[in-house]
A = this chain, B = another copy of it.
């Protein structure tokens, strides 16, 4: 796991420790972390703060020029909401720890010119599997099922 995915995974672990959904993310601009975050459905009762959204929110208002040189790291394949947000801001690259638990809109992202890299990290996968076994209803709620 590279240094930025490690941060995303730390965020996921923080979310799990809080009783939340263990998905974390970090937005990186030219080697510098702009924002990090994790899913806040449980902690803030939020339906929009998936891990990726929380990382972007914590990065704050950025000019388009910055997004266009940034990479978003996420512990899980991005859902339609997070993928749409990547498209809105023109983020050119997404690094995904795993997509075995859930496969988001990777094809749509690729079709729109986003570089999508899937690492298939087992630590992120195992954390999600543990969580889903413990709280299946919460997981379903998070993906609109």
* Contact in complex: B45, A48 (CB < 8 Å): no
Q: Please report the total number of A residues contacting B with Cβ < 8 Å.
A: 34
Q: State which of A10-18, A116-124, A136-144 sits at the interface with chain B.
A: A136-144
Give chain A's interface secondary structure class.
helix
Which residues 33-81 of A sit at the B interface, judged by CB distance below 8 A?
Answer: 41, 45-49, 53, 56-57, 59-64, 67, 79-81
CA distance A85 to B80 in the complex (A): 6
Cross-interface CB contact of A81 among B60, B81, B108, cutoff 8 Å:
B81
Residue of B nearest to A52 (CB): B48
Residue of B nearest to A86 (CB): B80
Q: Known A79-B88, A81-B84, A85-B81; judge A64-B105 contact (CB<8 A).
A: no
